Structure 1
């Protein structure tokens, strides 16, 4: 249905670009703390646990926000949730930037998390329901691309304000893209799959915009049939109790958890601290992290080109295997007799390699796959559940990493993440399905078929 000639690709690209501003905020607000933390911990005299609390308070909010985001998106629509998310983003950024003490800073980052949770769940869901199947992987990955750009922007802003220790400006500037997201969403429509039950006439009008043609009877009928079929299947059963949904929940939740316990956010949140420990100074560590962020963006662009050709499954398997190797080598850095010079650069190369593999597979595939594999009636709730698991695992890693590295040492800590990457590789080989070039209605009707790879 969605890959027929006549699809309005310009409209689809516009939808993806505006909605993905939520990804920019996601990336900026998760990345900016890494540079600011070097100065926040001195001003507020934070302990290792205090650093973990400042970083992970955002993640507590993200868990709470993602817990309710799916049901809110199913009840009120994807667009309404994203409009509310933009307002919460702006409020949290200003509160964190103006924080007079550690308590208010933690509160501000918690409020930011309340926005990041829904953004991470609903932005890819919104894009997936508004774009053609043969380009869905690439266009949903506009969200991931904007996440990586947001992270790079946060690193650059951190470097710019490092000489004046301007961590308040680093945090507060997130209010600007939040305003842009709100303005952009006011110009976009609700998705036809969200409108089909409440406003079928408006759903038809949006489909005309998406497909660029006046007659969308067949497309409308297919969406309506998929919705009715899903409603009949789930009518008397909850998401967690439905046996037909359960295997997909295992895939979505499992992939979300593995994406975090593999250690990616130890690089995003704590890279300057890690690099400083390997021989870089404070400003040098932040600048080096900008380079890592640029690699993240460039490899994400490559992944966008390949995901609808190569497929989701081989990319994510390759990614976890490469991430594990990079973590293994990074752990070896701290067994070397001296830090600085070549050793510091080797640590940077390991981190860059890790981020490159992550961007190629896990970053590119995670949000695409979990926006594709669920039936329409439970899609919002199921995506919200997977997103909550993602942020809960993220919280655990962010809170414990400073304590773990102080207690067990850098080598043991990074090797633990290497083991997690190995386990994730096995999980993906056994369970992750291929969904490329299949419409959402087709996936809903037949289910993601495990190892089936479309020709």
Structure 2
């Protein structure tokens, strides 16, 4: 079992806390570009439909091709991150995103627009996987939940910013500016990552122990005792993690986190969140908000809820734990989706707009406090070091492919069975996700990454780890 990583004294915590927060906020800019493009397409679709004479199916293709690119980007990024490092791969994905944003903004015909959207998708797919991976590997265990969740907070700020920019540009139908401004967070991310170190875990895994020590000193700040963390790293490397059978994807101890990661990835999308993000203005128009500006402004209100509740999740995740937030959020999402479906069953009228807005806001709020940040946090924690890049890559690919299926089918499904039935279907899937999470998802609060790996090994042997020293002095409820 892994050795205890001793809690630093209060003066050391105070000395290093702000240092690591600043570094984490810089790295979390990957979430900002992810969020901006995810949100900006919802407003731009209202104008792309007219500019390129798009049918409902082609609207889905314009949205979906970025998602297909994201799945491809995630698959490549995992391999590159394991071979060349987290930092250079993240810089490369930012550059691809910037290129895609510029091409999309300059598109003169549909083919060029689709090419630009594909490049954007490759960039956000890589960033969506690499950002939480990087954050998890640089964060102290006792603060890992909050620091990794900065990524999701940056996503929500990106989404909200895209809504506000969409509203500001709606009156002039400036969809080119909407898409082109996405290059800004990409440039900022690449520049910020040039100033940050590679993760100590990746360096140590690849034999660069001295560089790992230097990176850890830089991350924690001078004067902070890093020896407990270095000892844990050396112990993990000394156990020959690369050759242990549980460090192969086919081993049962690796299959268990893979099932959890891919399962949560699929459920995060098939429960409908990106129908709200991508098509919220369309949904609001259907509920009676006829103008594009009004629909985008109402969507911005939902974006504010997303930001606020994600901030709440960051405050709670290292206090009440991942599992509690996940289960509570899923239950609230299911109830909110039932309310949204019921609102659409009531037909037209002024009340429908208010009920729709309230139900959507509640749904997004519960997602933002649970499944939204907790999914990305968990997949950065649950995979053994030797397969972490590939494991996260597999989960992220599943996430983007599920996202693609939902985006391509939502509008056609609405035409086929109607909005109430669609949202009842999403509600049923949400309650299915609740049962899945309750049965399989462990609590990882306070565990070192090495201890999480030991937890899966114990589960694979139908044992419960009895070593109380695997946590950083934080009492954690049993899974």
Per the normalisation by structure 1, the TM-score is: 0.96
Mapped pair 1:141 → 2:149 = yes
Residue 321 of structure 1: aligned partner: 331
Equivalent position to 1:156, from 161, 164, 174: 164
Whether the 8 Å CA contact 2:333–2:363 is kept in 1: the answer is yes
Once the 2 structures are TM-superposed, how far is the Cα of residue 209 of structure 1 from its aligned partner? Answer: 2.3
The equivalent of 1:4 in structure 2 is 8
Instruction: Quote the residue 2:421 is aligned against.
Output: 412
Q: What residue is the counterpart of 2:24 in the other structure? A: 16
- Report the Cα distance in structure 1 between the residues aligned to 2:60 and 2:149, rounded to whole angstroms: 30
CA 1:200/1:410 → structure 2, altered by over 3 Å: closer, same or farther? Answer: same
User: 2:169, 2:178 within 8 Å by CA — same for their partners in 1?
Assistant: yes
| Greater alpha carbon shift after TM alignment, 285-294 vs 204-213 | 204-213
Q: Which residue number corresponds to residue 421 of structure 1? A: 430
* Structure 1 residue 290 corresponds to structure 2 residue 300: yes
Work out whether residues 317 and 429 of structure 1, in 8 Å CA contact, stay in contact via their aligned partners in 2. yes
Q: What residue number does 2:322 align with?
A: 312
Q: Which residue of 2 aligns with 1:233?
A: 244
Q: 1:52-201 counterparts in 2 under 5 A?
A: 52-196=60-204, 197-201=206-210
How many angstroms apart in 1 are the aligned matches of 2:238 and 2:408?
A: 43
> Structure 2: where are the runs of 5+ without partners?
466-474
* Residues 263/72 of structure 1: CA separation in 2 closer, same or farther (3 Å cut): same
- Cα 1:454/1:448, change in 2 over 3 Å: farther
Per the TM alignment, residue 325 of structure 1 is displaced from its structure 2 partner at its CA by 1.1
The aligned counterpart of 1:371 is 380
Q: In 2 relative to 1, CA 120–234 (structure 1 residues): closer, same or farther, beyond 3 Å?
A: farther
Q: Quote how far apart the aligned CAs of 1:449 are.
A: 7.1
**Partner residue of 2:285 out of 271, 276, 279:** 276
Deviation at 1:215, TM superposition (A): 5.5
Equivalent residue number for residue 361 of structure 2: 352
- 1:213-240 Cα shifts (integer Å, max 9, x gaps): 37634422311321343212149x742x
CA distance in 2, matches of 1:370, 1:413: 28
**Structure 1: distance between partners of 2:348 and 2:165:** 31
**Does 2:451 match 1:442?**
yes
* 220-229 vs 404-413, greater mean Cα deviation: 220-229
Give the deviation of 1:2 after TM superposition. 7.0
Instruction: Figure out how many residues of one structure are paired with residues of the other and give that number.
Output: 452
Moved more, 255-264 or 438-447: 438-447
How far off its partner does 1:444 sit? 2.1
- Post-superposition offset of 1:446: 3.1
Distance in 1 between residues matched to 2:344 and 2:248, nearest whole Å: 49
Aligned twin of 2:470 = none
How many Å separate the matches in 1 of 2:458 and 2:124?
31
Q: TM-score, normalised by structure 2?
A: 0.91
Q: Determine which of 382, 385, 389 is the counterpart of 2:394.
A: 385
Structure 1 residue 292: Cα displacement:
0.2
Residue 448 and residue 139 in structure 1: after superposition, are their counterparts in 2 closer, same or farther (change >3 A)?
A: farther
- Residue number among 221, 228, 251 corresponding to 1:242 in the alignment: 251
Tell me the distance in 2 between the aligned counterparts of 1:275 and 1:441: 47
Runs of 4+ displaced beyond 4 Å: 448-453
Query: Structure 2 CA distance, aligned partners of 1:123 and 1:353?
Result: 27
Note the aligned Cα RMSD (angstroms). Answer: 1.7
In the TM superposition, 1:198-209 aligns within 5 A as 198-209=207-218
Q: SS state of the match for residue 242, structure 2?
A: helix
| Higher mean C-alpha displacement, 314-323 vs 143-152 | 314-323
Distance 1:345 1:2, change over 3 A: farther
In 1: Cα distance, 2:53 partner to 2:450 partner: 54
The one-character-per-residue Cα deviations of 1:55-74 (angstroms, maximum 9, x if unpaired) are 11110000001112112111
Q: Tell me, yes or no, if the aligned pair for 1:296 and 1:355 is still in contact at 8 Å.
A: yes
SS of the residue 1:371 aligns to: helix
SS in 2 for 1:231: coil
| Cα contact 1:227–1:376 (8 A) shared by 2 | no
Q: Do 2:68 and 2:121's aligned partners in 1 also have CA atoms closer than 8 Å?
A: yes
SS of aligned partner of 1:232: coil
